[in-house]
Structure 1
């Protein structure tokens, strides 16, 4: 259900490498949410760094939306990058699992391609 990778590299390095890997895999970073900062700004105690990246491959997104516009509720793909003790964790829901909920078998190949690309991006970031 999840793809999870861990590293002892610095958070800044992992984030930079992830953004570079996204571009190399023809994914746009549509947004980066600093969840930890937002929680702290609201007066809540949250002592780890936690970012949510929204990434999208426009060609794949168009194919998915042309097949079933309701899948837009699951777009864009999200990858969390956060600290856990001395490690940095990258984590995402598997696109194959998410798209399976919509019952569109014609998109199975597209889901596998997206999943492979995101996994490659994450792998590059942790190396």
Structure 2
């Protein structure tokens, strides 16, 4: 269900490469959550750099939602990038696992598979 890769790049470079890979593969960045900054605003000391990207390919999202509007609860896709010690990790919940657990439609499976294939490509390019 989880897809996690480790990068030897510093997180700042991996972020640049992730954003480039997202847009180069037909996805858009809807929002970036800076978890460390959000925690700091709440007076919580969180030592890790951690960003959660909400990303979407509007064509795939439209196709999925045209089949089952209830799946809006699982969209947009999220890709996380964070530091653990000296390592940078890039991760996601696999769209196939998430969406096929919520819908038994073969058409949803087809579109989820496409979203997962592209998302893995994005993460590999950023790595």
Q: Same fold (TM over 0.5)?
A: yes
Give the secondary-structure state (helix, strand or coil) at the position aligned to 1:91: strand
Distance in 1 (alpha carbons) for counterparts of 2:21 and 2:55:
11
Secondary structure at 1:51 match in 2: strand
| Aligned-partner Cα distance in 2 for 1:12–1:79 | 15
Structure 1 residue 12: Cα displacement? 1.1
Number of aligned residue pairs? 126
TM-score normalized by the length of structure 2: 0.96
How do 1:1-127 and structure 2 match up within 5 A?
Answer: 1-102=1-102, 103-126=104-127
TM norm structure 1: 0.96
Moved more, 78-87 or 102-111: 102-111
**Any stretches of 5+ residues in structure 1 without a counterpart?**
none
**Residue deviations 1:58-106 (CA, integer Å, cap 9, x gap):** 0000001100001001000001100000001011000000111222222
RMSD (Å), alpha carbons:
0.8
The 2-side partners of 1:23 and 1:82 are apart by: 20
